Amino acid sequence: MSQSTFDDDELFDEATSEMREEVEEALETARAELPEPDAVWEVEADNTLGVLNALKGALDVGDAGDHLREAKKQFVLGQRADAFEDADDLEDDIGELEALFGDIETAHGEASDLAATVPGLKSTLEDAHGDEEEA
């Protein structure tokens, strides 16, 4: 084999190119696994609890979080190794996805809280109305 095949600079350039591709692919996969907008907006249910449970299910990000984590790991590794000449776009994409994941997690938590609260509220209201009828 020729010496140029093992040139450190060439190998480094090749490795950084592959690392960037890995980050981009992981980000693309994370985006592809995000909930569909219509699944969050359009719901078929018979009651409020059904709507809330459907919303909780629609807000499940599944493996998308794992892909975002993988993208960020590769990005941090490349950044600390000073491997990327221009990584602002990757950093922006990761930041945007992290913010979106935060919003989705917040909405999921709020829907979960409401789904846990509504049945008890319904029961309490039924009791209150029952007391009115008895009086």
pLDDT in tens, 101-115: 999 999 999 999 999
How far is it, in rounded angstroms, from Cα 47 to Cα 120?
Answer: 14
pLDDT-derived band at 1 (thresholds 50, 70, 90) equals very low
Report yes or no: 59 and 113 within 8 Å, Cβ to Cβ: no
pLDDT-derived band at 12 (thresholds 50, 70, 90) equals confident
Domain that holds residue 52: 3-134
Nearest alpha carbon to residue 24 among 64, 60, 70, 65: 70
The pTM for the full model equals 0.80
Percent of the chain surpassing pLDDT 90: 73
Pick 133 or 128 by higher pLDDT.
128
Residue 62: what are its φ and ψ, rounded to 5°? 55, -130
Domain total for the chain? 1
